[in-house]
Amino acid sequence: MIIKSLKLVNFRNYSDLECDFTNGINFIYGNNASGKTNLVESIYCLSIARSFRTNISSNLINNKNKQAYIKAKIDFNGSNKCVEIIFSDVGKTISIDGKKVSKLSELNKITNCIYFIPKDVDLLRDSPKERRFFLNVNVSKENSIYLEEMASYEKLLKERNNLLKSEKVNLNLLDVVTNQMISLSKNIYYKRKSYIDKLNVKFKDIYNKISGNANNVKVIYLPFIKESDDYESLAKTAYKNSLENDLKNKITGIGIHKEDFFVVMNGKNLAKFGSQGENRMAVLALKICPYFLIDDEKLKPVVILDDVLSELDKTHEKMLLNFLNNINQVFVTSTKKYEINNATYYQVCDGRIIKGA
C-alpha cells in the first residue's frame, strides 16, 4: 500500500492540514514539539484505528474540540481507497470508501503500518506485556481470525478470573471455562509459533545489514505449552497443577496471556548481555522485519521510523538510510535535515508543513 494524501482536522496540534506523499523516503523534519510525531501518529492510526502513544481517543483531539478527523487516500493493490477515522470522547468511527466498518479486521485488509519509536529501544528489556503486544499486532495483521480468537480468549480469561474471585468458586463452571480457554490457546499458540518462525527467516539478514555486523541473531519463543501432539492434555495438567495457586491468588496465573519471547545473539540473551547499541539495532530489525514477510509488493505496509537517527553514529546512519531504499514507502522523522538521495522533504513548523523544503 501507498499513502497518497492525508487530511487532518483537529488532530493533536493540526487544526486543518492537507498533504500529499510520495513513494520511497518521506523525510519529515523540524524542531522538537513542532508536530512531527503527531503527523506519523495519525498515519499509524490508519492501520489499527489507535495510536502508538495512547489508548484514549480523546487525547488525540486538538484543544477543546469534540472530534478529531483523519482522511487518507490510499493506493491499495493498484486501486484507490479512501479511509476516514473520526475520534471522539465516546470512541471512534471508521469508514472505507464512505461505508462504515465495525471490525478492525476490515480495516486491516486495506491498511497496514509498522513503526519504530524511541521508547521501542527497550522492547527486549521491557515487560513481557510489551513484547506480547508487538506479537499480537503483527500476527493479527497476517491472520484476521487471530484477532477474533484473542478477543474470545480475553473474554474467557476475564470470566475465569471473576469465578476465582467468587466467595464460593464453582469448580465445575471453572473447569468448563478453562477447557474453552485451552482450545483457543492451542490455535493462538500455533499462529504465534508460525509467525516467529517466519520472522527468523528474515531477522538475521536485516539485523546484519543495518548493523554492519555478521552476528547470529534469533528470536526465541517462550510458549505456555511447548509444541506437542498432546497440547490440550498437557495444558489441562498445567491448569490442574496451578489451581491451588489460582484459587489462593484469585487470578489466572498461567496461560498464553503470560507468554513471551527473547532474542539471542551468538547464543546469549541480547537483553541481558547485549549493549544498548546492539539492542537498538535488534529492535529496529525486529520492527522492520514484518515488511519483508509479505511477498506481494502491492500489499506491503508503510514503515514509520520516528526519531530513529538521533542515537546512531554516522556509519549506522548511512547503513540504515541506504537500507530504507528497499522499502516502498517510509516516513522518517528527525530534528535535523539529512541529505538523502531520492528523498522527499517535509518541514514541520507549529502545525504546518512545507513540502520540498
Assess whether 140 and 236 both reside in one domain.
Answer: yes
Q: Which of 295, 321, 337 is the last residue of a domain?
A: 295
Query: What is the per-residue pLDDT for 107?
Result: 86
Assess whether 267 and 141 both reside in one domain.
Answer: yes
**Whether residue 91 has pLDDT greater than 90:** no
Assess whether 252 and 145 both reside in one domain.
Answer: yes
Considering the chain, what is the average pLDDT of its residues?
A: 92
Assess whether 160 and 249 both reside in one domain.
Answer: yes
CA-CA distances (angstroms) from residue 338 to 35, 215, 318? Answer: 18, 29, 10
Instruction: Between 128 and 91, name the one with better pLDDT.
Output: 128
Assess whether 82 and 160 both reside in one domain.
Answer: no
Query: What is the per-residue pLDDT for 341?
Result: 85
Query: What is the per-residue pLDDT for 207?
Result: 95
Give the confidence band of 52 by pLDDT, cuts at 50, 70, 90.
Answer: confident
**Whether residue 302 has pLDDT greater than 80:** yes
Assess whether 97 and 134 both reside in one domain.
Answer: no
Assess whether 95 and 237 both reside in one domain.
Answer: no
Query: What is the per-residue pLDDT for 260?
Result: 97
Cα–Cα distance measured from residue 304 to residue 44, given in angstroms and rounded to the nearest whole number: 8
Q: List pLDDT tens digits, range 242-259.
A: 999 999 999 999 999 999
Assess whether 165 and 280 both reside in one domain.
Answer: yes
Q: List pLDDT tens digits, range 312-336.
A: 889 999 999 999 999 999 999 999 9
Q: How many domains would you assign to the chain?
A: 2
Assess whether 278 and 200 both reside in one domain.
Answer: yes
Q: Compute the Cα dihedral for 175, 181, 185, 187 and give only its sign.
A: positive
Cα–Cα distance measured from residue 142 to residue 108, given in angstroms and rounded to the nearest whole number: 9
9-18, 47-56, 271-280, 325-334, range with the lowest pLDDT: 47-56
Assess whether 157 and 271 both reside in one domain.
Answer: yes
Assess whether 271 and 136 both reside in one domain.
Answer: yes
Nearest to 185 by CA among 217, 161, 156: 156
Range of the domain at 26: 1-112+301-357
Cα–Cα distance measured from residue 256 to residue 278, given in angstroms and rounded to the nearest whole number: 29
The enclosing domain of 323 has a CATH number of 3.40.50.300
Assess whether 57 and 192 both reside in one domain.
Answer: no
Give the confidence band of 310 by pLDDT, cuts at 50, 70, 90.
Answer: confident
pTM of the model: 0.89
Query: What is the per-residue pLDDT for 110?
Result: 86
Q: Which of 279, 295, 311 is the last residue of a domain?
A: 295
Q: Mean per-residue pLDDT for 192-207?
A: 95
**Whether residue 221 has pLDDT greater than 90:** yes
Q: Is 106 helix (H, G, I), strand (E, B) or coil?
A: helix
Give the confidence band of 18 by pLDDT, cuts at 50, 70, 90.
Answer: very high
Query: What is the per-residue pLDDT for 20?
Result: 95
190 C-beta neighbours (distance < 10 Å), count: 13
Q: Which of 264, 295, 326 is the last residue of a domain?
A: 295
Q: List pLDDT tens digits, range 108-166.
A: 888 889 999 989 999 999 999 999 999 998 998 888 799 899 999 999 999 999 999 99
CB 7 within 8 A of CB 71: yes
**Whether residue 290 has pLDDT greater than 90:** yes
Query: What is the per-residue pLDDT for 105?
Result: 77
